[in-house]
Chains A and B, each alone.
Chain A
Amino acid sequence: MKKKFLAILLTAAMVAGLTACGSSADQSSQNAATGETTQSGTEDTADAAATTTEGGKELAVQVGPDPETIDPALNSAVDGGNMLLHAFECLLTVDQDGNLAPGQAETWETSEDGLTWTFHLRDGLKWSDGSDLTANDFVYSWKRVCDPLVAAPYAETVLGMVKGYSEAIEGNLDALAVSASDDKTLVVELDTPCPYFGSLAAFATLSPVQQATVEANGDAWATAPESYISNGPFYMTEWVPGSHITFSKNPNYWNADAIKLGALKFVLMEDPNAAYSAYQTGEVMMIKDVPTEEIPSLDGNEEFYIEPIIGTYYISLNIEKEPFDDVNVRKALSLAIDREYVAGTLMQGTYTAASNFMGPGWADPTGGDFMEKANGGKPYIDTTNFEANLEEAKKLLAEAGYPNGEGFPTISYTTNDAGYHTVVAEYLQQAWAELGIDLEVNIVEWSSFTPMRRSGDFEVARNGWVGDYSDPSNMLDVLRSTNGNNDGKYNSAVFDAAMDASNQTMDAAERSKALHEAEDALMDDMGCIPLAYYNDFWLQSSKITGMWHSPYGYWYFMYADITE
């Protein structure tokens, strides 16, 4: 009897279960829908508000996955930088032509000796919450960047030359010689002249942050719209981690009248195929992550853009190990590479063959493009004449004591597996086999690869650098004997001396000469093997107007509009 009852109960449960399945699924999706309705509801209201008050539209773009942080002091990634650019404004900005332009500071001047920089802020600057922004906010923010408890990755890059930096980084923040002589004047004193300090004053790490919100919320201030107070053209109104971050027009921004969009939505996608689908359906109007297998079909498409960024894909040779200590070996390895084929065919034209270490986009101190003035206007490596290069490579290898590669040890090439890295590795195997050299390819997971390369645990390794600002010292510094990023341990007294000279002069012509001398020395020693210049390639709807892309890898949407 009891059993029978149980059986009936079970049957009932099954049936109920079966019917409930449908309804509970319905219900949960309904809940989901209502949950989301409130969400999209607020979005709608925000949109509506934007439409009624500012007449703005929402632009959805994809520039990368969830940023690790969008705290200006902590960010070191380009996708975070793209968001900071829209939320914050530094003392100076970089305009569409790559020149420094007034930002929060209306004017600025440098003392004769180049050691004192004075910035004069605009009138009536405000935070996104409506409170006043003064020079003291910059003093607080810059000192915060030095705070060992904040541990900002870019502290030394952007403030290392400021007087009192070494004490500040030990915890004595007030030692940093940054002060506000009044609410509108910021004075910075440097230890050594820094001709490119203007570029640093436009660098996102030195954005102002509001003391009140940072102190009230700790590290978490930069994770929620309520506490994320900013001073740029947009301010954060929503962040759903792993989904999207929405920035709305900041009515308190000094140039708010020029902002046409009501909102800018960063869709946080990681998968290029997903991004491409969303672009095709029109859900996103610009995507940075285009699947590489689609590139051939996008050739000639007017919505597909390829533009250079300041950065070079290069190969590090471990110069402390034999046979890479021989300059002829290094040159032979370099010349045996058909760069046009690598960049144009293997990398599908998304990279450009590198003839120099410093590619297009770097600003020469005397004005114009650094690359055009390098090596007397000639490329260091003639990438268009591969046959001659290969002959030369064979000759150099023979001079080094390895005719036809005889006696040359088997060498290994270490890389992580992403993008075109493996394809390049396989190509190098073939290319260097022409010289009679055997190459083993060693593919290592990304997180293990970086420490391996840094500790010198490799023979030949993939490497690359993308500039943070367009002063050539930003990338040339990497090859200084003392630099932590000098993975190949290139060590040249001539190079180091030229870099020192470039840092000690405020004279543009002298500085330019010193920097070019440094690159000459590097290329003469073949301290590393430049392979290709980075480009950004992306898809963007022709309906977007008024935006631009900079050689720093940033997309400027603040003055963009959407045409119907």
Chain B
Amino acid sequence: MAKYVVKRIAMAIVTIWAVATLTFFLMNMVPGGPFLSEKAVSPQAMAALEAKYGLDKPLSEQYVTYMTDALHGDFGDSLKQRGRTVMSIIQTKFPVSAKVGGMSILVAFCVGVPLGCVAALNRGKFLDNLISVIATCGIAVPSFVVCTVLMYFLGVNLKLLPTFGLTSWKHYVMPVMALSFYPMAYIMRLMRSSMLDVLGQDYMRTARAKGLGQFKILFKHALRNAILPVITYLGPLTAYTLVGSFIVEKIFTIPGLGGEFVGSITSRDYTVIMGTTIFLAALMVVMNVIVDILYKIVDPRIKLN
């Protein structure tokens, strides 16, 4: 196990390095730059800005400087949000996204898994069909539609919930619902199909033949085997959801990290692009390691090597 973890960490470092390098050169290949605006900045001011942030140096030198600084934990200053460091942006915005994202994963998991099981156990019946309809909607309806519909009915029409900000528990209801709808639907479908698969296995028949109770069969034998695909999905889902959603954050005016991913690219804020990308890559790698270890715990037959 220890050996495995060490190996995974080594691989993770290589992965993150590769992602960072690729991102660095790709973003510099895209035309445009951080200091362009509709009104031209004078050549002097432009030169001064580039000198200040080292953008006047050759790309290879910029790359070496960036990587050296990054290794020392210095991700630089934002080029657009003057006076803020990339680290401070991540530190203030990630917790906000993580809070909303974490809640929605919990909701998606806690609603998705039981409903998926219920659907599988009632295969072909009304309940199964109903759950399938919900799941299909969840997969097919994009989040901005969910956000807008929620906001229109719960916010504007019924005036039950506030439409922007995050200042009380009420503010969390709509964003969490909007964010959890898709993963919930996905988990339901995964759970339903893997549960059906498991229920048809020989050992399930054996268990029933042994005269075990329905509850025991389900929880002891079926659920444990059926939940593996959900766990696989949960890894990348967690990484993506914790860093926030551009759309949901924009619509509900949530000061999260999701907006920075897209915003930094359109504004060519190089240091923020690098910082957020490395952060997401690292989170993704960590989640995958955790998922692998969870596999081992849930299904001891799996060998981690």
Please state if B43 and A484 are interface contacts (CB–CB under 8 Å): yes
Please state if B32 and A447 are interface contacts (CB–CB under 8 Å): yes
Task: Return the chain A residue nearest B164 by Cβ.
Answer: A278
9-residue interface stretch from B60-68, B100-108, B232-240: B100-108
Please state if B162 and A281 are interface contacts (CB–CB under 8 Å): yes
Over the window 249-269 of chain B, the binary record of Cβ atoms lying under 8 Å from chain A Cβ atoms (1 yes, 0 no) is 111111110010000001110
One of A33, A68, A241 near B80 (C-beta < 8 A): A68
9-residue interface stretch from B34-42, B134-142, B198-206: B34-42
The minimal Cβ–Cβ distance linking B285 to chain A, given in whole angstroms, is: 25
Q: Does A509 contact B (CB under 8 A)?
A: no
Please state if A24 and B45 are interface contacts (CB–CB under 8 Å): no
Decide yes or no: A69 and B82 within 8 Å by CB, A242-B253, A243-B255 being known contacts: yes
One of A220, A268, A484 near B253 (C-beta < 8 A): A268
Please state if B164 and A267 are interface contacts (CB–CB under 8 Å): yes
Give Cα A25–Cα B266 distance, bound, in whole angstroms. Answer: 34
Q: Specify which chain A residues have a CB less than 8 angstroms from the CB of B92 in the assembled complex.
A: 241
Q: Does A152 contact B (CB under 8 A)?
A: yes
Please state if B253 and A169 are interface contacts (CB–CB under 8 Å): no
Give Cα A169–Cα B41 distance, bound, in whole angstroms. Answer: 14
CB-CB contacts below 8 Å: B147-192 with A: 148, 151-152, 155-156, 159, 162-169, 171-172
Q: Specify which chain B residues have a CB less than 8 angstroms from the CB of A223 in the assembled complex.
A: 81, 83-84
Please state if B253 and A269 are interface contacts (CB–CB under 8 Å): yes
Q: Specify which chain B residues have a CB less than 8 angstroms from the CB of A100 in the assembled complex.
A: none
The minimal Cβ–Cβ distance linking B82 to chain A, given in whole angstroms, is: 4
Q: Does A174 contact B (CB under 8 A)?
A: no
Q: Does B219 contact A (CB under 8 A)?
A: yes
Please state if B163 and A283 are interface contacts (CB–CB under 8 Å): yes
Q: Specify which chain A residues have a CB less than 8 angstroms from the CB of B249 in the assembled complex.
A: 242
One of B33, B220, B266 near A7 (C-beta < 8 A): B220
One of A3, A40, A241, A281 near B159 (C-beta < 8 A): A281
9-residue interface stretch from A127-135, A389-397, A448-456: A448-456
Over the window 11-32 of chain A, the binary record of Cβ atoms lying under 8 Å from chain B Cβ atoms (1 yes, 0 no) is 1001001100110110011101
Task: Return the chain B residue nearest A240 by Cβ.
Answer: B255
Q: Does B298 contact A (CB under 8 A)?
A: yes
Decide yes or no: A451 and B32 within 8 Å by CB, A18-B110, A68-B81 being known contacts: yes
Q: Does B72 contact A (CB under 8 A)?
A: no
The minimal Cβ–Cβ distance linking A239 to chain B, given in whole angstroms, is: 10
Task: Return the chain A residue nearest B249 by Cβ.
Answer: A242
Please state if B219 and A281 are interface contacts (CB–CB under 8 Å): no
Task: Return the chain B residue nearest A39 by Cβ.
Answer: B167
Give Cα A485–Cα B126 distance, bound, in whole angstroms. Answer: 66
Please state if A484 and B84 are interface contacts (CB–CB under 8 Å): no
One of A14, A24, A267, A450 near B106 (C-beta < 8 A): A24
- Contact count band on A: 35 or more
Please state if B93 and A149 are interface contacts (CB–CB under 8 Å): no
Please state if B45 and A21 are interface contacts (CB–CB under 8 Å): no
Q: Does A302 contact B (CB under 8 A)?
A: no
Give Cα A491–Cα B298 distance, bound, in whole angstroms. Answer: 75
Q: Specify which chain B residues have a CB less than 8 angstroms from the CB of A244 in the assembled complex.
A: 165
* Most-contacted residue by chain A among B51, B251, B253 (CB, 10 A): B253
Please state if B82 and A281 are interface contacts (CB–CB under 8 Å): no
Please state if B49 and A156 are interface contacts (CB–CB under 8 Å): no
Q: Specify which chain B residues have a CB less than 8 angstroms from the CB of A123 in the assembled complex.
A: none
Q: Specify which chain B residues have a CB less than 8 angstroms from the CB of A28 in the assembled complex.
A: 99, 102-103
Q: Specify which chain B residues have a CB less than 8 angstroms from the CB of A156 in the assembled complex.
A: 42, 44-45
Give Cα A273–Cα B252 distance, bound, in whole angstroms. Answer: 10
Please state if A451 and B83 are interface contacts (CB–CB under 8 Å): no
Give Cα A488–Cα B109 distance, bound, in whole angstroms. Answer: 57
Q: Does A464 contact B (CB under 8 A)?
A: yes
One of A33, A74, A243 near B82 (C-beta < 8 A): A74
The minimal Cβ–Cβ distance linking A64 to chain B, given in whole angstroms, is: 12
Q: Specify which chain B residues have a CB less than 8 angstroms from the CB of A278 in the assembled complex.
A: 163-164, 253
Give Cα A69–Cα B102 distance, bound, in whole angstroms. Answer: 31
The minimal Cβ–Cβ distance linking B170 to chain A, given in whole angstroms, is: 9
Decide yes or no: A14 and B223 within 8 Å by CB, A28-B99, A273-B148, A451-B31 being known contacts: yes
Q: Does A446 contact B (CB under 8 A)?
A: yes
Give Cα A90–Cα B1 distance, bound, in whole angstroms. Answer: 66
Please state if B83 and A243 are interface contacts (CB–CB under 8 Å): no
Over the window 463-504 of chain A, the binary record of Cβ atoms lying under 8 Å from chain B Cβ atoms (1 yes, 0 no) is 011000000000000000001110000000000000000000
Q: Does A10 contact B (CB under 8 A)?
A: yes
Q: Specify which chain B residues have a CB less than 8 angstroms from the CB of A95 in the assembled complex.
A: none
One of B45, B99, B253 near A155 (C-beta < 8 A): B45
Give Cα A220–Cα B297 distance, bound, in whole angstroms. Answer: 47
Q: Specify which chain A residues have a CB less than 8 angstroms from the CB of B224 in the assembled complex.
A: 7, 10
The minimal Cβ–Cβ distance linking B255 to chain A, given in whole angstroms, is: 3
Please state if A448 and B45 are interface contacts (CB–CB under 8 Å): no
Q: Does B30 contact A (CB under 8 A)?
A: yes
Q: Specify which chain B residues have a CB less than 8 angstroms from the CB of A29 in the assembled complex.
A: 103, 169, 172
Q: Does B125 contact A (CB under 8 A)?
A: no
Please state if B159 and A149 are interface contacts (CB–CB under 8 Å): no
One of B31, B159, B167, B250 near A271 (C-beta < 8 A): B250
Decide yes or no: A36 and B163 within 8 Å by CB, A28-B99, A274-B250 being known contacts: no
The minimal Cβ–Cβ distance linking A475 to chain B, given in whole angstroms, is: 11
Give Cα A40–Cα B162 distance, bound, in whole angstroms. Answer: 15
Over the window 44-57 of chain B, the binary record of Cβ atoms lying under 8 Å from chain A Cβ atoms (1 yes, 0 no) is 11001101100000
Give Cα A267–Cα B169 distance, bound, in whole angstroms. Answer: 19
Q: Specify which chain A residues have a CB less than 8 angstroms from the CB of B39 in the assembled complex.
A: 76, 465, 485
Give Cα A152–Cα B48 distance, bound, in whole angstroms. Answer: 9
Decide yes or no: A277 and B156 within 8 Å by CB, A68-B82, A155-B45 being known contacts: yes
Task: Return the chain B residue nearest A37 by Cβ.
Answer: B168
Please state if B103 and A274 are interface contacts (CB–CB under 8 Å): no
One of A11, A74, A283 near B164 (C-beta < 8 A): A283
Q: Specify which chain A residues have a CB less than 8 angstroms from the CB of B77 in the assembled complex.
A: 219
Task: Return the chain B residue nearest A447 by Cβ.
Answer: B32
One of B37, B99, B164, B267 near A274 (C-beta < 8 A): B164
The minimal Cβ–Cβ distance linking B213 to chain A, given in whole angstroms, is: 13
CB-CB contacts below 8 Å: B80-130 with A: 80-84, 89, 92-93, 99, 102-103, 106-107, 109-110, 114
The minimal Cβ–Cβ distance linking A43 to chain B, given in whole angstroms, is: 8
Q: Specify which chain A residues have a CB less than 8 angstroms from the CB of B219 in the assembled complex.
A: 11, 14
The minimal Cβ–Cβ distance linking B62 to chain A, given in whole angstroms, is: 18
Give Cα A230–Cα B223 distance, bound, in whole angstroms. Answer: 62
Give Cα A451–Cα B36 distance, bound, in whole angstroms. Answer: 7
Q: Does A222 contact B (CB under 8 A)?
A: yes
Q: Does A459 contact B (CB under 8 A)?
A: no
Q: Can you spell out 16 A-B residue pairs with CB atoms less than 8 angstroms apart?
A: A11-B219, A14-B219, A74-B82, A149-B48, A155-B45, A219-B82, A240-B255, A242-B253, A243-B255, A244-B165, A267-B253, A269-B164, A278-B253, A448-B30, A464-B38, A484-B40
Given contacts A242-B256, A485-B40, 18 further A-B contacts (CB under 8 A): A22-B110, A25-B106, A36-B167, A37-B168, A40-B167, A69-B83, A77-B37, A149-B48, A155-B42, A220-B83, A223-B83, A242-B255, A243-B165, A270-B250, A277-B156, A283-B163, A464-B38, A465-B39
Q: Interface on B for A, CB 8 Å cutoff? A: 30-33, 36-45, 48-49, 51-52, 77, 80-84, 89, 92-93, 99, 102-103, 106-107, 109-110, 114, 148, 151-152, 155-156, 159, 162-169, 171-172, 219-220, 223-224, 249-256, 259, 266-268, 298, 300
